Amino acid sequence: MTPGLDLDTLVLTLKAAGESTRLRILALLLRGDLTVSDLTDILGQSQPRVSRHLKLLHEAGLIDRYQEGSWAWFRLSDADGPRDLVRGLVARLDAADRQTARDGERLVEVKRRRQHKAAAYFAANAAAWDELRSLHAADGKVEAALKRVVGDRPFQAMLDLGAGTGRMLELFADQYRRGVGIDLSREMLDVARANLDRAGVAHAQVRQGDLFAAPVERGAFDLVVMHQVLHYLDDPAAAIAEAARFLRPAGRLVIVDFAPHGHEFLREHHQHHRLGFSDEAIAAGFAAAGLDTARPLAIAPDKAGGLTVKIWQARDPRLLIADSPAQLEIA
């Protein structure tokens, strides 16, 4: 159940939202994260004016701000109360309203430019990715196995550490209420945003950050995923321990990576620090992080001599007390 707001807070919140430009901004952010530059292009107003509106909305707790290098991004608040309030207000806007319809058209153009930029980066790196992808089972087979491991029950929040193209957030979009992806690469974040926009996933966002200092709250996620991330890291055990800190009680950590192999060229040409992981090594990392380990799943390669993909999962053993049934359903 969404918590209510006290009278004074509700009045202040409604005052912040009750101005035409600010309501237009909220309607736009309901469809995805945007920068000040994006909003000035869409609204046709000066940056100082747009910034003032954003400041008022932020002070009222309706939106959040986060930094990527020199860029400031804005999104709807992660809190259920303000987010549900915005949804209710925007739902009452006339879909045929000329101004909001024009804002929607300009938003489509902003996202189209974002997708073109992402496509250029993806094309420039496609050969390297295709070389690696050819060594293991088809992505569809791996994703189907991952869906079986996670199950199909809904849950509250998902965190993808090393989000890459945003595929994991897209794969589980119909199950979580809120999704967050973290990646160090600005270019990959562009790709992920474009892919999530294209898939119509507005309830997930991606942010720039190091998984060892991820800009998200700890103890808040029912599912944490690390998909093809560990083999790039110097200290995989420390990464597992850090990922575990983001789990809610009874939450699960799922790792997708390679079984041990001898493809040295991946270290030399693809920056892989580790040539796969044994079940014992991952289990030791889970145990050190205080997690209960489940049986791993192996997906054999499509051709001889290829890479075996492994899916490891573990659960936070703490009991989830006094919470909603939907938040418990991740078994």
Average pLDDT, the chain: 86
- Strand partners for 299: 309
Highest mean pLDDT among 63-67, 200-204, 231-235: 200-204
Instruction: Summarize pLDDT for 180-216 with one digit per residue, the tens.
Output: 999 988 888 888 998 999 999 989 999 988 888 888 9
Residue 24: its pLDDT value, please?
Answer: 94
Cα separation of 128 and 88, whole Å? 46
User: 172-203: buried (b, 16+ CB within 10 Å) or exposed (e) per residue?
Assistant: bbebbebbbbbbeeeebbbbbbbbbbeeebeb
Listing DSSP states for 28-61 in one string gives HHTT--EEHHHHHHHHT--HHHHHHHHHHHHHTT
| pLDDT, average across residues 118-136 | 65
Instruction: Summarize pLDDT for 249-285 with one digit per residue, the tens.
Output: 999 999 999 999 888 888 777 778 788 899 999 999 9
Q: Compute the residue count for the chain.
A: 331
* pLDDT greater than 60 at residue 322: no
- Residue spans of the domains in the chain: they are 7-108, 134-328
* pLDDT greater than 60 at residue 2: no
CATH fold of 7-108: Arc Repressor Mutant, subunit A (1.10.10)
Q: CATH second-level architecture of 134-328? A: 3-Layer(aba) Sandwich (3.40)
* pLDDT greater than 50 at residue 50: yes
Residue 71: its pLDDT value, please?
Answer: 76
Residue 306: its pLDDT value, please?
Answer: 87
Residue 329: its pLDDT value, please?
Answer: 37
Give percent of the chain above pLDDT 70.
Answer: 89
Cα separation of 266 and 26, whole Å? 45
CA distances from 6 to 22, 46, 61, 81, 86 (A): 22, 34, 14, 11, 16
Residue 127: its pLDDT value, please?
Answer: 60
Residue 331: its pLDDT value, please?
Answer: 36
* pLDDT greater than 50 at residue 323: no
Closest CA to 183 of 157, 155, 216: 216
Is 38 within 8 Å of 110 (Cβ atoms)? yes
Residue 112: its pLDDT value, please?
Answer: 81
* pLDDT greater than 70 at residue 103: yes
* pLDDT greater than 90 at residue 3: no
| pLDDT, average across residues 84-100 | 87
* Amino acid symbol at 167: R
* pLDDT greater than 80 at residue 142: yes
| pLDDT, average across residues 56-61 | 92
